[in-house]
Amino acid sequence: MNPKNAIYSQRRSSYGTKQADVYKEFDATELYCPRCKQAVPVRKRLLLVLPEGDKFEYLCAFCSASVGTKIDRDANSISLIV
């Protein structure tokens, strides 16, 4: 095996793992609103705190209609103090 190819493959694989970390989580900025009949900016509102993560609701910025939900599974775990 050519040493130059080995170095290239190592760099390429480490670059691929960094890219995967970048796209781990998305937040919507615009979604389709059925009431406004177009893609509109949205507001993110905390709806529920669940054991598996926080559930958020996306609301239309113009008419406040619910246009989607999302569960954030990377939320801090909740511990009960008894």
| Per-residue pLDDT tens over the stretch 18-72 | 565 666 778 899 999 999 999 999 999 999 998 888 999 999 999 999 999 999 8
Q: Which pLDDT belongs to residue 10?
A: 45
CA trace torsion 7, 8, 13, 15 (10° rounding): 110
Name the residue among 42, 31, 47, 39 with its Cα closest to residue 64.
Answer: 42
Give domain status of residue 67, yes or no: yes
Domain enclosing residue 39, as ranges: 28-74
- Does residue 9 surpass a pLDDT of 90? no
Tokens coding 76: 């801090």
Does residue 22 belong to any structural domain of this protein?
no
Does some domain include residue 53?
yes
Task: Quickly count: other Cβ atoms within 10 Å of residue 57's Cβ.
Answer: 16
pLDDT of residue 51: 87
2 lies in some domain: no
Q: Determine, yes or no, domain membership for 80.
A: no
Report if residue 79 sits inside a domain.
no
**Higher-confidence residue: 45 or 17?**
45
Does a structural domain hold residue 82?
Answer: no
Number of domains in the chain: 1
Flag whether 5 is in a domain.
no
For 53, other C-beta atoms within 10 Å of its C-beta total 16
- The residue with greater pLDDT, 2 or 73, is 73
